[in-house]
Every structure is written in C-alpha cells, then in structure tokens.
Copies of this chain bind each other. A is one copy, B any other.
C-alpha cells in the first residue's frame, strides 16, 4: 500500500520532485531501452538520482510498478486514435464495422508488443497472476464493446468476448522478441534454423510439426495474427448470426464479413 492513500493533495505540500507518474514513466523508458531484466530499483534510483526509500514511498513494490507500467502502455495502445492518422481530414470514418473495431483494438495491442518487447511477458504475467486486474479489464472493454455491436445475444457477451480476449493474449504473448526487435535478416535466420530443426524431429513423434516446417519459415506474424482474429470472428458470426434473432440454422456463408476485403 502506498502511504499516499492518506489524504492526497492537501495542497501540494512539497515541490513533489518525485511523483508516481514520473517513476512509471522512467520505468517504461528503462524497459524499452535496456530490456526487461534491467528494471531494478537500483537502476531506478540512479536514473532518478534518489534512494530506494523515496521510490517505495510512492509505489509499494516492484510488481505494482510493473503492473502500472503495463497498464499505462496498454492504455495508450488501445486508445482510439493510436496507430493511423492516415485519414486525411474531415469526415470519412463513419463506416467502421464492429469487425473493424475489433481488428483495430487487436492490432493496437499487437503493435504495442512489438514496440515494447517486454510487454509480452508482462501481459502474460499480469494475466495469470491477477486475471481480472486493470489491464485485463481495459482489454476486455475494448473488445467487448464491438462484440455487443456485432449483434451477439446478450447471454453470450461474456463468453464471446472472453474467447476473443484469450486468443488475442495468447497470440500477442508469443510474438515477442525478448531482446531488441530483430532485424529482417536476423528474423529470417531465426526462422530458417527453427524450420530446419523441425524437419529433423522424430517423424513418429512430430509428424505434424515436420509437415508445416516449410510454411512456418515464411510466415508473417502480423498477417497471421489477423488471420486468427478473422477465424474467431467468423466463428462468432456463424454461431450468432447478426441481424435476425429468430433464425434457427445459421447459414454460414454470406454473413460473416460484410466488413471489407480484409486488410
């Protein structure tokens, strides 16, 4: 517990050289530049030119700081206008389908993970240690709102949104370059050796992995991430056809995307 809880802002008693926000901010900086392991209280104290006591007066403990940093990054990643200021000016905009909104939120998260390599591990940790913490809630809300707009029956909102969020987190957490983002060449080399290793697995134990070794060599993470999202989306619209609530058998074609030619 941060002792700050006791009556904040009486009137800014001291000059507040060190604020919780500033700590979180430099924590994110440290994580981005020097990597996940480099975020230590020592590193923080030296970077902020202070002592541990000062930091702990503001933040309670290390996990709390990590959670706050994660939450901050996720919040900006899911903010409406994060990725594309492409739209030239004025009024286009109106035709965003719920599918598009879901894709946008998903991509926001995905791109945030590639921008902040430490984020993948942190998301995973937050998600297991505190399954309904602020980070999860934020993501849930961003995904849930369009799910509602999809026409999914109310009784299924929770289940459907959960499924999407689960896929999303599974996919984004695997897409981590734990060190600095790899160059294209490094990535190709990595995929190459991995693919080769797969082909040398025991054919009895790993027939499937061997069979897909080749196509995994050339795959694009981001593109496939979107493929997965669309797969889940079709599952949703097939099981819960949008408009007509009474129709008994889902006619799988023709609904699903009215969205757009997919990316």
Nearest B residue to A227, CB-CB: B159
In the assembled complex, the Cα of A198 lies from the Cα of B230 at a distance in Å of: 29
Q: How far is the CB of A53 from chain B (nearest CB, A)?
A: 25
A residues at B contact (CB < 8 Å)? 120-121, 124-125, 127-129, 131-132, 136-137, 140-141, 144-145, 147-148, 154-155, 157-163, 165-171, 173-176, 178, 194, 198, 201, 205-209, 211-212, 215-216, 219, 224, 227-228, 230-236, 238-239, 248-253, 256
CB neighbours of A239 from chain B (8 A): 230-231, 234
Interface of A is mostly: helix
Asked if A137 and B206 sit within 8 Å, CB to CB, the answer is: yes
CB neighbours of A120 from chain B (8 A): 128
Nearest B residue to A208, CB-CB: B144
Nearest B residue to A144, CB-CB: B208
- Counting chain B CB atoms within 10 Å of each CB, the highest count among A216, A231, A252 belongs to A231
The 10 closest A-B pairs by CB, nearest first: A235-B235, A170-B170, A124-B124, A166-B170, A144-B208, A163-B228, A166-B171, A169-B170, A167-B167, A231-B235
CB neighbours of A158 from chain B (8 A): 212, 215-216, 219, 224
Q: How far is the CB of A219 from chain B (nearest CB, A)?
A: 6
Q: How far is the CB of A99 from chain B (nearest CB, A)?
A: 13
Kindly list 8 other residue pairs between chains A and B, CB separation below 8 angstroms, not including A128-B176, A162-B171: A124-B127, A141-B209, A157-B215, A163-B171, A163-B227, A170-B173, A234-B239, A249-B251
